[in-house]
Structure 1
């Protein structure tokens, strides 16, 4: 099956999957895997590996499923495990509570959602949003326990901040690749400045939606405001004393710094031993390993190193379901990528050309919703848009940068079951898949539309 009929089948498959999970209480792992298999077969993916007339290998459905599953584990599996382990250590030593206290002193008790959103926005400039959420989640949880603020509001706020800079601001791979493809790769400072500017309205929209939905949806880790003070005092008494600020923040800030240095080295195209060492230390897996070592130092200082085995064991039990559901989402994305859908959208891109700055947004949104990856949506759309810049009236450097922003806004719209970030946010935010659609999916729709609105206004002014 190809063409528009395949898109219709895809939409129906997503609806069936949502109903199966939310209404019939089928486990997300089974629902996503079943839908992926059926969709792949209907789309015409062969039952077994074959070779076409040109000798090119065509992967069968089982190979596609295996590649999608293993690909997700290799890209984010260890990151989730190490990030969750660091979080568990921070909770056990009282470091997470110390960090919550530091943030409250900085921004006040009345603005924890805004603090979480802005923290996520800054962190995700050099760090992938998936990794950033895992890294910052212990602070989010501690702030929920410390202030009694809505857990859902904090989750959506953090997710929003991370996602906005992830698609707008280099040195994350998507915006860098898009800028290079479109022809402004040597002017990344312009792209970074435009990304920061175009973040304003989405940040505002994300903040207000986080507070709104926080009053409508309750997660499993909500804290009772009436018990917050008592709970906090009991926790501090249990810890005997909280670690100092540097010790508390080191397991989080050191990996972020290492990943940022890796991004800077890559962006500057540096070479040599030092550059290679920084790239090695800045890969998410190694950076989080270093963070884990700092966490172990915390355990030693808190005289709880004897609990390290139990903490690790408990963490693995907790993240197991998250890993498998996230990998299932990767399978769905891989199945879609192996069908004719993306090629069909690409071949018919000319139908959108007359709508100017909205063309890259709509195309990226379609690709994002179809296959799940924001980075893939950004790079694919950039390749299609690049030869059309003059036709779309986006030929100048400033307007080309706006085109990159429009692509990024589209690549936010929307995050759902075929996106690993959806499952990271939903599961670490202690929400059900149905709640995830009401929070993460709707939030990313609002973020994308808010971003595109600001970009459109800027396109009327900037030339």
Structure 2
């Protein structure tokens, strides 16, 4: 019980410090990491090492991806390519439902791409659509984020769901998880879209204040715009490569196990794919002094992503402390003994997600924890195991808050205040998680 009180106290501190007292999130999260380490009894000689490992670990996994995605976005924005993309999307999908457009784009992109990377890559497109259609920046940000989040937690080949499926003995039947996951993800994406529409007229962010010129004036200042092919290539090519890399790494190796596997596995690594995307983005720079322009844009991109990297790293440090102490294991063991069927893995995953921030960690840890118990709770069949993966996925999105890197990616790239992000993004993920487990439960009544 003491550990639960520690967790509640620290989370309350983070929420109040960042929203009410306006303390910078980087310092807040570092203080939260130290406080949790001391209160939860982490040995003093491990505190600094654990915090450093968490900071470095999260930046080691997505730090360069954030930088490259920001650089690509900066070039797309400054060369007018984002304007071209916005015009193309509008021609294809129309102007009536901008939030739906962003949700669909996010839903598709995050099947192979981490939601953090997908949001970074698509930010410039979202901003251009906001300017083009005069839509709510908060609503479009939430629509994009929740669309990405839906498939990120339910649909292989995203690492979390595929690892959970493997832990539950479904490595050879990923098709079942993918098929059911796409359905549940669609419902949760719609739930996120509903919340985006709900807050559309209630919340604003820094992007909404950027109204010093109308869209046509903004478009005209770029002169001749790049073609749609050149404009979309820096985004679509990396996404395609990541897709092919994911397919190549399937357990059944559909592309073979020789040169094709090695090639696509290499090119499909997000870091390598985004480097190729950056190379394609460079071709958008026009004029006589292209190298000088490129250097200038790189400098602007690095300045833009520096605070995001610091906050993301501090969130990783906080999450690492939570996972290193006994808080996560205590919650998991306590909740797993309640005997409530398909809701048990959901509650365990939701508790782990809320405690340590990573959806992937919640998926992997919960699936490993509940795997030996599936027979006792009536979920040992193939279908039962697949539904358990999805119940864990629903828990792993409940909720995204201050210790989740995706929360800070969404809030910082959308120029949202922390309090706005809690009301918009955090509440949206709560709605998504409840929707997800409701759909999974109804599926279990029909399919089991």
Scaled by the length of structure 1, what TM-score is found? 0.93
C-alpha separation in 2, matches of 1:236 and 1:375 = 40
Among candidates 372, 380, 383, match of residue 365 of structure 2: 380
Among candidates 100, 106, 131, match of residue 145 of structure 1: 131
Contact 2:336 2:345 in 1 (8 A): no
Contact 2:33 2:318 in 1 (8 A): yes
Query: How far does residue 121 in structure 1 lie from its aligned partner after superposition?
Result: 0.7
C-alpha separation in 2, matches of 1:433 and 1:252 = 28
Contact 2:82 2:128 in 1 (8 A): yes
| CA deviation string 1:264-312 (max 9, x = no partner) | 1111444333312211111111111100000101114797553111111
Query: How far does residue 425 in structure 1 lie from its aligned partner after superposition?
Result: 0.5
Among candidates 214, 222, 226, match of residue 243 of structure 1: 226
C-alpha separation in 2, matches of 1:89 and 1:5 = 50
> Which residue in 1 is equivalent to 2:20?
23
Query: How far does residue 440 in structure 1 lie from its aligned partner after superposition?
Result: 1.1
> Which residue in 2 is equivalent to 1:428?
413
SS of alignment partner, residue 95 of structure 2: coil
Specify whether residues 350 and 120 from structure 1 end up closer, same or farther in structure 2 by C-alpha distance, changes over 3 A only.
Answer: closer
C-alpha separation in 2, matches of 1:223 and 1:99 = 22
Shift >3 Å, 4+ stretches: 300-306
Counting only pairs closer than 5 Å after superposition, residues 13-412 of structure 1 correspond to structure 2 as: 13-48=10-45, 60-222=46-208, 231-267=214-250, 268-269=252-253, 270-300=256-286, 305-352=291-338, 354-412=339-397
| CA deviation string 1:355-385 (max 9, x = no partner) | 1110111010001001111011011111122
Structure 1, unaligned runs of 5 or more? 49-59
C-alpha separation in 2, matches of 1:28 and 1:206 = 25
User: In the alignment, does 2:2 pair up with 1:5?
Assistant: yes
Query: How far does residue 390 in structure 1 lie from its aligned partner after superposition?
Result: 2.1
C-alpha separation in 1, matches of 2:3 and 2:384 = 34
Query: How far does residue 181 in structure 1 lie from its aligned partner after superposition?
Result: 1.2
| CA deviation string 1:124-178 (max 9, x = no partner) | 1011110010011111011011111000011000000100100100011111111
Query: How far does residue 201 in structure 1 lie from its aligned partner after superposition?
Result: 2.1
C-alpha separation in 1, matches of 2:386 and 2:260 = 32
C-alpha separation in 2, matches of 1:362 and 1:427 = 29
User: In the alignment, does 2:425 pair up with 1:443?
Assistant: no
Structure 2, unaligned runs of 5 or more? none
C-alpha separation in 1, matches of 2:342 and 2:287 = 55
Contact 1:145 1:223 in 2 (8 A): no
> How many matched pairs?
445
Query: How far does residue 214 in structure 1 lie from its aligned partner after superposition?
Result: 2.0
Specify whether residues 443 and 302 from structure 1 end up closer, same or farther in structure 2 by C-alpha distance, changes over 3 A only.
Answer: farther
